[in-house]
Structure 1
Amino acid sequence: MSVCKVEVDPAELGFDAARLARIDTHFAEYVDDGRLAGWSVAVARRGRLAHVSHYGRRDVAGDLPVTDDTIWRIYSMTKPITSVAALMLWEEGLLELTDPVSRYIPSFADMRVYTGGSAANPGTVPATEPVRVWHLLTHTAGLTYGFHHAHPVDEMYRAKGHEFAPPRGQDLAAACDVWAGLPLLFQPGTEWNYGVNTDVLGRVVEVVSGQSLADFFRTRILTPLGMLDTGFHVVDTEHLATLYVPKPGGGLVRSSAMGDAITQPPTYLSGGGGLASTLGDYHRFAQMLARGGELDGVRLLGPRTLAYATRNHLPGNADLESFGRPIFAESAFAGTGFGLGFSVVVDPAAGKQLQSPGEYGWGGLASTTFTVFPEEDITVVFMTQLMPSSTYPIRPQLRTLVSQAVVS
């Protein structure tokens, strides 16, 4: 088990310990007033842990506390791991960012783009160029999510049984064929829309590597990094945090339908949202990123690859506010661009948040989040289990609370 323990006096790393403690005070109130059940946080700088805290309950009804070995559903924080997998294959010359996805998933040939009409009778035109690997990495393919409820194509996904997950029994290959048979929201590369892009990317990883996504993750990423409590299936349910949704009028209610899915062996391996992990495990993944692709002698990516992936890849250095569809996503839109699998801060002033250019990271549906601050050499990982992540402004508050504690 990867354990997070404070390794150094925060002052040695340029933190004010009293200011760091504001993180605990602030988020303890979330638990004390019933907004969250419990949480864990780890803040590190220059590769050393300066602050680790756990608070509240992983299961309220059972009165079970959050501990170092609590397992959390990380949902879309799976996406950076899948993106790293694809970048590893790119480094090995096994795929190109410009490759048409149809080279690996034939059903993605001859895609069509929505032009108008209802979900039952949409107008479409042929795509002017193929959906490419880089479109998947940047969420510019024109794919969507059924749970957005914002567009007729979203409705078409739901009509096929795809809202938060595919119908029971449908595997990743079959799901990709379903999505390929539906219209794109826009011509590839012309807009940004949060969707099943990274799930399709996971299928590309499977085809290119000849391994299932679970096997690739385990042999090439998770085991080498010592992330032994991360996976698509949680057997140790005793330490699994309960998934909650807000209860009307205040408090929390357990979400059994989605929460129990991780306890069953999966048919569908979701590179976009299927993993569970611990604070310690994901801290190791964040440290690998912050160290330029290497941790404890294990190198997954070269530093130039990681630097390239964590710059803004939206055309004209645009932010999501100007280039993205105004829908739910695991990031702020103003002042934030998108790289190859990560949101990237391009204009802190526009975002009206205490952040620095080049900060990157992502979050998950159950309000988890992580950020790498390259300028300050800081990583922060926050785990909790409240769905949806848009319920409270946890991420900007956490970013401010970490940043205000840096004094040198």
Structure 2
Amino acid sequence: MIGTADPATKGFDTERLERIRVWMDALVADRKYAGNSLLVARDGDVVFDHATGLRDLDTGLPFERDTVARIYSMTKPITTVALMMLAERGLFHLDAPVSDFIPAFADCQALIPGATTMDQTEPCATPTLHHLATHTSGLSYPFNPGLLSQAMDAEDMLFKPNQGSLAAMVDKVAALPLAFHPGTRWEYSVGIDILGRVIEVVSGKSLDAFFREEILDPLGMHETGFSVMPGTQERFAALYTPLAGDAFDLNSAETGGDTLRLTDAPGTSPFRNADMYSGGGGLVGTIDDYLRFTEMLRRGGRLGDLRLLGPRTVDFMTRNHLPGDIASMGPESFAEQPMEGMGFGLGGSVVLDPGRARCPGSVGDFSWGGMASTFFWFDPVEALSVVFFTQLSPSSSYPTRPQLKALVHAALAG
């Protein structure tokens, strides 16, 4: 279903492709990343793969193509695929209020403009499933600026792998007011974690079971899960940060003396036995597994003989669902992609204008990344699927994503 090919037969300049290898090796030599790996596929065939550096500096084990990594927010597109699989069965529509599935979201309140305390609220509409999938719900993340984020941070509402029941965490989030009225702004949020709970309610399965039975196993993603899968523990990478404090404190500019400070060791990581199923950031897996998912999307919902979604559903998901670009909706939050010239679909960003996004690419590119600096995109114009893995948090540490896109597009010769 996914083969390999001589890059020259797929329209690549092989000498220019080698620049990518040099760039990846330099990221390790400069101690920006401990290790990293990359797969580039065109027309369904891998034309470039490279892995370099170490997955664990303490043990000296290499970062290889089969290294298991935390993909964090690259879980989000998988969750929105699950959502649309259920929507295709006629079980709900995207304008349904989330309170239809999670009663704790009834009678929503939003902070008034300019609020200085959490009790300065006014009644608002309940977010819909569509609001949650597009980050326009009024929810937020603990690492964003603002009152709501501060309240979430105080309660550690980050949906970590060792934080217990998804249902209980969702109800805690629902007890807080929204940062703004749904649909009026874009703010990166736990909305897709909330959708994970909706999937559980509608399907009658845990999110872990739904993913395994309906997506991961059918696609052959046997080394991906909310916990490090049996037989892969020795390949699980360490997580590093250049920050002196919390690796998820995106408002901190305080760097430590070591650009690769260990923040989650593979042997003691909560991902070894997760009890929280975070649809917004909970999966760990291998780069080949994620390429299979990416290729399924690029091919319109199908991989080999398996069809997860109809092609028109995938086209719908990967269109811009905002009135304009992300920047036009007044975002104040962290985002792992540019905001100008970029729209947002269901669970990922969409290139509207490569010039305004200041990065080579095609109109219609669909992509997202993870907090540990992982990244993927597929380009329907060039028939490209690209997946990059490393393990450094936060993902805003270095501009590797636009650099990688520039390198890949520069190597396209036909």
Partner of 1:130: 126
Distance 1:208 1:231 in 2: 21
1:191 partner letter = R
Distance 1:231 1:279 in 2: 13
2:141 partner letter = Y
Partner of 1:208: 202
Q: Return the match for 2:116 from 102, 107, 118.
A: 118
* TM-score normalised by the chain length of structure 2: 0.93
RMSD of aligned alpha carbons: 1.7
Partner of 1:102: 99
1:237 partner letter = Q
Cα deviation, 1:297-333, whole Å, max 9, x if unaligned, reads 1100000000011010002xx1111214132112111
What does residue range 3-402 of structure 1 map to in structure 2 within 5 Å?
Answer: 7-115=4-112, 116-119=114-117, 121-127=118-124, 129-148=125-144, 150-162=145-157, 164-165=158-159, 169-234=163-228, 235=230, 236-246=232-242, 248-256=256-264, 260-315=268-323, 318-402=324-408
Per the alignment, do residues 252 and 87 of structure 1 end up closer, same or farther by CA in structure 2, a change over 3 Å counting?
same
Q: Is the 8 A contact 1:145 1:194 kept in 2?
A: yes
1:339 partner letter = G
Per the alignment, do residues 71 and 323 of structure 1 end up closer, same or farther by CA in structure 2, a change over 3 Å counting?
same
* TM-score normalised by the chain length of structure 1: 0.94
Find runs of 4+ consecutive structure 1 residues off by over 6 angstroms: none
> More displaced, 371-380 or 241-250?
241-250
2:308 partner letter = L
Identical aligned residues as a percent: 48
Distance 2:163 2:47 in 1: 44
Distance 1:54 1:257 in 2: 20
What is the CA-CA distance between 1:260 and the residue it aligns to? 4.2
Per the alignment, do residues 375 and 262 of structure 1 end up closer, same or farther by CA in structure 2, a change over 3 Å counting?
farther
Per the alignment, do residues 281 and 23 of structure 1 end up closer, same or farther by CA in structure 2, a change over 3 Å counting?
same
2:263 partner letter = S
What is the CA-CA distance between 1:253 and the residue it aligns to? 1.1
Q: Is the 8 A contact 1:35 1:250 kept in 2?
A: no
Q: Is the 8 A contact 1:72 1:276 kept in 2?
A: yes
Segments of 5+ residues of structure 1 without an aligned counterpart are: none
1:202 partner letter = G
Residue 36 of structure 1 aligns to a residue whose secondary structure is coil
Q: Is the 8 A contact 2:237 2:266 kept in 1?
A: no
Cα deviation, 1:325-373, whole Å, max 9, x if unaligned, reads 1321121111101011110011111111111110011000000000001
Cα deviation, 1:43-101, whole Å, max 9, x if unaligned, reads 00111111111111111111101122210000000000000000000011011111111
Q: Is the 8 A contact 2:98 2:128 kept in 1?
A: yes
What is the CA-CA distance between 1:161 and the residue it aligns to? 2.7
Q: Is the 8 A contact 1:43 1:378 kept in 2?
A: yes
Distance 1:194 1:63 in 2: 36
Segments of 5+ residues of structure 2 without an aligned counterpart are: 244-255
Cα deviation, 1:220-264, whole Å, max 9, x if unaligned, reads 000000000000111432100110001624531110389944434
Per the alignment, do residues 254 and 167 of structure 1 end up closer, same or farther by CA in structure 2, a change over 3 Å counting?
closer
What is the CA-CA distance between 1:27 and the residue it aligns to? 1.7
What is the CA-CA distance between 1:169 and the residue it aligns to? 4.6
Aligned length: 399
Per the alignment, do residues 258 and 108 of structure 1 end up closer, same or farther by CA in structure 2, a change over 3 Å counting?
farther
Q: Is the 8 A contact 1:38 1:66 kept in 2?
A: yes
